[in-house]
Amino acid sequence: MSDEVSGGGRDVGAERDLEAEAARRRRRAQFLRELHEARELRERVQPRRARAARMRQVLRMRTFRW
């Protein structure tokens, strides 16, 4: 009988881990959406500065060694 109780505890713990992982993924997805939106807004508001930042990023990627 004690095996059934301990087995159930593991299932509940695993289910909580899955729920926590799902919640973390939802928060991360929301954060990335907001980050992307903020970058787009910044590009619209400051196109010259954003273009310079894009050019620097391209240059960085070009000089980066894989």
Give the residue from 40, 66, 64 showing the smallest Cα distance to 53. 40
Question: Looking at per-residue confidence, does 27 or 51 come out higher?
Answer: 27
Q: How far apart are CA 40 and CA 42, in angstroms?
A: 5
Q: How far apart are CA 55 and CA 66, in angstroms?
A: 19
Give the residue from 31, 66, 42 showing the smallest Cα distance to 54. 42
Answer yes or no: pTM beyond 0.75. Answer: no
Give me the helix-helix angle, 2-45 and 47-63, nearest 10°.
120
- Residue 12 has a pLDDT of 76
Token output for 48: 């010259």
Instruction: Using the predicted structure, report yes or no on whether residue 11 has a pLDDT greater than 60.
Output: yes
Residues, the chain, total? 66
User: How confident is the model over 4-14, as a mean pLDDT?
Assistant: 61
